[in-house]
Amino acid sequence: MTQSITVGLTETITKLVMEELDKAGLAPIAEPGRHVPVGVSARHVHVNREHLDILFGPGYELTIFKDISQPGQFAANEQVTLVGPKGRIEKVRILGPLRKDTQVEVAPSDARRLGVDPPVRQSGVHPGTPGITLIGPKGTVVIEQGCIIAERHIHMTPDDAAAFGVQNGQKVQVKIEGQRGGLMDEVMIRVRDDFALDMHIDTDDGNAFGLKTGDMLEIIK
Protein backbone atom coordinates (compact mmCIF):
# COMPACT_ATOMS: atom_id res chain seq x y z
CA MET A 1 0.00 0.00 0.00
CA THR A 2 1.48 3.37 -1.02
CA GLN A 3 2.14 6.13 1.48
CA SER A 4 -0.51 8.45 -0.03
CA ILE A 5 -3.18 5.76 0.19
CA THR A 6 -2.20 4.99 3.78
CA VAL A 7 -2.40 8.66 4.78
CA GLY A 8 -5.76 9.08 3.10
CA LEU A 9 -7.16 5.97 4.78
CA THR A 10 -5.88 7.13 8.17
CA GLU A 11 -7.51 10.54 7.74
CA THR A 12 -10.81 8.94 6.74
CA ILE A 13 -10.80 6.58 9.72
CA THR A 14 -9.89 9.43 12.10
CA LYS A 15 -12.72 11.57 10.76
CA LEU A 16 -15.25 8.74 11.18
CA VAL A 17 -14.08 8.05 14.74
CA MET A 18 -14.32 11.75 15.65
CA GLU A 19 -17.84 11.96 14.22
CA GLU A 20 -18.95 8.98 16.32
CA LEU A 21 -17.33 10.46 19.46
CA ASP A 22 -19.11 13.75 18.80
CA LYS A 23 -22.47 12.00 18.46
CA ALA A 24 -21.84 10.26 21.79
CA GLY A 25 -20.81 13.51 23.48
CA LEU A 26 -17.25 12.25 23.94
CA ALA A 27 -15.38 14.49 21.53
CA PRO A 28 -12.20 16.09 22.86
CA ILE A 29 -12.44 19.54 24.39
CA ALA A 30 -11.48 22.31 21.98
CA GLU A 31 -8.00 23.74 22.39
CA PRO A 32 -8.02 26.78 24.74
CA GLY A 33 -7.17 30.08 23.11
CA ARG A 34 -8.29 28.95 19.66
CA HIS A 35 -11.91 27.77 19.74
CA VAL A 36 -15.08 29.56 20.76
CA PRO A 37 -18.68 28.30 21.11
CA VAL A 38 -21.21 29.80 18.71
CA GLY A 39 -24.74 30.94 19.48
CA VAL A 40 -27.14 31.22 16.54
CA SER A 41 -29.47 34.09 17.40
CA ALA A 42 -32.96 34.29 15.91
CA ARG A 43 -34.72 37.61 15.29
CA HIS A 44 -35.50 39.34 18.58
CA VAL A 45 -36.36 42.63 20.26
CA HIS A 46 -34.94 44.67 23.14
CA VAL A 47 -37.35 47.19 24.67
CA ASN A 48 -37.17 50.13 27.03
CA ARG A 49 -39.49 50.86 29.94
CA GLU A 50 -41.71 53.28 28.04
CA HIS A 51 -42.34 50.92 25.16
CA LEU A 52 -42.92 47.88 27.38
CA ASP A 53 -45.65 49.84 29.17
CA ILE A 54 -47.32 50.62 25.85
CA LEU A 55 -47.01 47.10 24.43
CA PHE A 56 -48.05 45.16 27.55
CA GLY A 57 -49.61 47.67 29.92
CA PRO A 58 -48.34 50.16 32.54
CA GLY A 59 -45.92 48.65 35.06
CA TYR A 60 -45.67 45.33 33.22
CA GLU A 61 -42.56 43.24 33.96
CA LEU A 62 -40.92 40.74 31.64
CA THR A 63 -41.04 37.09 32.71
CA ILE A 64 -38.20 34.66 32.09
CA PHE A 65 -38.60 31.95 29.46
CA LYS A 66 -34.97 30.84 29.70
CA ASP A 67 -31.54 32.26 30.51
CA ILE A 68 -29.22 32.94 27.58
CA SER A 69 -25.44 32.85 27.26
CA GLN A 70 -24.58 36.27 28.67
CA PRO A 71 -24.86 36.63 32.47
CA GLY A 72 -28.06 38.35 33.62
CA GLN A 73 -29.70 38.23 30.20
CA PHE A 74 -32.70 36.11 29.30
CA ALA A 75 -35.25 35.26 26.65
CA ALA A 76 -38.65 36.46 27.87
CA ASN A 77 -42.00 34.74 27.50
CA GLU A 78 -43.32 37.97 25.98
CA GLN A 79 -43.48 38.27 22.19
CA VAL A 80 -44.49 40.98 19.73
CA THR A 81 -45.39 41.29 16.06
CA LEU A 82 -43.05 43.23 13.75
CA VAL A 83 -44.65 45.16 10.89
CA GLY A 84 -42.76 46.69 7.99
CA PRO A 85 -43.75 48.28 4.68
CA LYS A 86 -44.12 44.92 2.93
CA GLY A 87 -45.01 42.38 5.59
CA ARG A 88 -45.14 41.26 9.17
CA ILE A 89 -43.50 38.65 11.38
CA GLU A 90 -45.39 37.39 14.41
CA LYS A 91 -44.17 35.91 17.70
CA VAL A 92 -40.85 37.73 17.86
CA ARG A 93 -39.38 37.19 21.31
CA ILE A 94 -38.26 39.97 23.63
CA LEU A 95 -34.89 39.62 25.37
CA GLY A 96 -34.40 41.03 28.84
CA PRO A 97 -33.56 42.92 30.90
CA LEU A 98 -34.92 46.27 29.72
CA ARG A 99 -32.65 48.50 27.65
CA LYS A 100 -32.20 52.26 27.42
CA ASP A 101 -33.36 52.20 23.80
CA THR A 102 -35.65 49.80 21.96
CA GLN A 103 -33.83 47.77 19.32
CA VAL A 104 -35.02 45.23 16.74
CA GLU A 105 -32.48 42.67 15.45
CA VAL A 106 -33.33 40.77 12.27
CA ALA A 107 -31.53 38.59 9.74
CA PRO A 108 -31.24 39.81 6.12
CA SER A 109 -33.97 37.38 5.03
CA ASP A 110 -36.28 38.82 7.72
CA ALA A 111 -35.54 42.34 6.49
CA ARG A 112 -36.56 41.44 2.94
CA ARG A 113 -39.79 39.89 4.23
CA LEU A 114 -40.59 43.05 6.20
CA GLY A 115 -39.52 45.44 3.46
CA VAL A 116 -36.87 47.27 5.48
CA ASP A 117 -33.20 47.84 4.74
CA PRO A 118 -31.28 47.84 8.02
CA PRO A 119 -27.49 48.19 8.04
CA VAL A 120 -25.08 45.84 9.79
CA ARG A 121 -24.46 47.50 13.14
CA GLN A 122 -23.07 46.89 16.59
CA SER A 123 -25.80 46.71 19.20
CA GLY A 124 -26.87 50.14 20.43
CA VAL A 125 -25.59 52.08 17.40
CA HIS A 126 -28.83 53.41 15.92
CA PRO A 127 -28.19 56.64 13.94
CA GLY A 128 -29.10 56.09 10.30
CA THR A 129 -31.03 52.88 10.93
CA PRO A 130 -34.66 52.42 9.84
CA GLY A 131 -37.66 52.34 12.12
CA ILE A 132 -40.32 49.66 12.38
CA THR A 133 -43.66 48.98 14.08
CA LEU A 134 -44.06 46.69 17.10
CA ILE A 135 -47.48 45.37 18.12
CA GLY A 136 -48.14 43.93 21.56
CA PRO A 137 -51.29 42.71 23.30
CA LYS A 138 -52.03 46.14 24.79
CA GLY A 139 -50.71 48.63 22.26
CA THR A 140 -48.53 49.56 19.29
CA VAL A 141 -45.14 51.25 19.19
CA VAL A 142 -43.57 52.85 16.11
CA ILE A 143 -39.84 53.41 16.51
CA GLU A 144 -38.15 55.92 14.20
CA GLN A 145 -34.81 54.08 14.29
CA GLY A 146 -33.28 50.99 15.86
CA CYS A 147 -33.83 48.16 13.38
CA ILE A 148 -30.45 46.51 12.65
CA ILE A 149 -28.73 43.43 11.32
CA ALA A 150 -26.43 42.59 14.21
CA GLU A 151 -22.73 42.61 13.49
CA ARG A 152 -21.09 39.20 13.94
CA HIS A 153 -19.28 39.35 17.26
CA ILE A 154 -17.57 37.37 19.99
CA HIS A 155 -18.09 38.18 23.69
CA MET A 156 -14.97 37.74 25.85
CA THR A 157 -13.65 38.62 29.27
CA PRO A 158 -10.23 40.35 29.47
CA ASP A 159 -8.70 36.99 30.45
CA ASP A 160 -10.27 35.35 27.40
CA ALA A 161 -8.91 38.12 25.16
CA ALA A 162 -5.42 37.61 26.58
CA ALA A 163 -5.66 33.87 25.97
CA PHE A 164 -6.76 34.41 22.36
CA GLY A 165 -4.28 37.24 21.81
CA VAL A 166 -6.96 39.69 20.65
CA GLN A 167 -8.23 43.13 21.71
CA ASN A 168 -11.58 44.82 22.11
CA GLY A 169 -12.77 46.17 18.75
CA GLN A 170 -10.49 43.93 16.72
CA LYS A 171 -12.00 42.08 13.77
CA VAL A 172 -11.03 38.47 13.12
CA GLN A 173 -11.84 35.58 10.82
CA VAL A 174 -13.46 32.42 12.13
CA LYS A 175 -12.92 29.00 10.54
CA ILE A 176 -15.87 26.61 10.21
CA GLU A 177 -15.32 22.91 9.61
CA GLY A 178 -17.73 20.49 7.96
CA GLN A 179 -19.44 19.97 4.63
CA ARG A 180 -20.58 23.60 4.48
CA GLY A 181 -17.51 25.00 6.15
CA GLY A 182 -15.44 28.02 5.24
CA LEU A 183 -14.17 31.29 6.64
CA MET A 184 -16.42 33.90 8.23
CA ASP A 185 -15.01 37.42 7.97
CA GLU A 186 -15.65 40.68 9.84
CA VAL A 187 -16.21 39.16 13.29
CA MET A 188 -15.91 41.82 15.98
CA ILE A 189 -14.22 41.10 19.32
CA ARG A 190 -16.12 42.61 22.28
CA VAL A 191 -14.37 42.52 25.65
CA ARG A 192 -15.95 43.23 29.04
CA ASP A 193 -15.53 41.89 32.57
CA ASP A 194 -19.09 40.56 32.78
CA PHE A 195 -19.16 38.79 29.39
CA ALA A 196 -19.17 35.02 28.90
CA LEU A 197 -17.20 33.53 26.00
CA ASP A 198 -19.64 33.18 23.12
CA MET A 199 -19.86 34.08 19.42
CA HIS A 200 -23.15 35.49 18.14
CA ILE A 201 -24.36 35.15 14.55
CA ASP A 202 -27.83 35.37 13.02
CA THR A 203 -29.87 32.53 11.55
CA ASP A 204 -28.89 33.36 7.96
CA ASP A 205 -25.20 32.91 8.81
CA GLY A 206 -25.99 29.77 10.79
CA ASN A 207 -27.90 28.22 7.90
CA ALA A 208 -25.27 29.22 5.32
CA PHE A 209 -22.52 27.41 7.22
CA GLY A 210 -24.62 24.56 8.63
CA LEU A 211 -24.06 25.69 12.22
CA LYS A 212 -26.04 25.13 15.39
CA THR A 213 -25.74 26.67 18.83
CA GLY A 214 -22.90 25.07 20.78
CA ASP A 215 -20.67 24.26 17.81
CA MET A 216 -17.02 25.12 18.41
CA LEU A 217 -15.34 27.40 15.88
CA GLU A 218 -11.68 28.34 15.46
CA ILE A 219 -10.55 31.96 15.53
CA ILE A 220 -8.14 32.84 12.72
CA LYS A 221 -6.40 36.20 13.22
Say if residue 46 is in the same domain as residue 141: yes
> Same domain, yes or no, for 10 and 34?
no
| Domain end (from 104, 131, 149) | 149
Q: What is the pTM of this model?
A: 0.83
Please give the angle made by the CA atoms of 114, 44 and 125, to the nearest 5 degrees.
85
| Shared-domain flag, residues 162 and 210 | yes
Which pLDDT score, from 0 to 100, does residue 10 have?
42
> For all residues of the chain together, what is the average pLDDT?
90
Residues 114 and 60 grouped into a single domain:
yes
Q: What percent of the chain has pLDDT over 90?
A: 84
Q: What would the pLDDT profile of 2-57 be if each residue is shown by its tens digit?
A: 444 443 444 445 445 445 545 554 444 445 569 999 999 999 999 999 999 999 99
Domain boundary among 119, 149, 179: 149
Give pLDDT tens digits for 85-128.
999 999 999 999 999 999 999 999 999 999 999 999 999 999 99
Residues 53, 143, single domain; the answer is yes
CA distance 100 to 47: 8
CB of 102 closer than 8 Å to CB of 146: yes
Closest Cα to residue 122, out of 169, 75, 81? 169
Buried b (16+ CB within 10 A) or exposed e, 48-76: beebbbbbbeeebebeebeebbbeeebbb
117 and 78: one domain?
A: yes
Helix spans in the chain (H):
3-23, 49-56, 108-114, 158-164, 203-209
Residue ranges making up the domain that contains 21: 1-29
CA-wise closest residue to 150 among 195, 172, 120: 120
> What is the signed CA dihedral for 122, 49, 42, 213, rounded to 10 degrees?
80
pLDDT at residue number 221:
82
What is the C-alpha separation between 196 and 185, in angstroms, rounded?
21
Instruction: Specify whether 156 is located in the same domain as 136.
Output: no
Structurally, how many domains does the chain consist of? 3
Query: Does one domain contain both 19 and 35?
Result: no
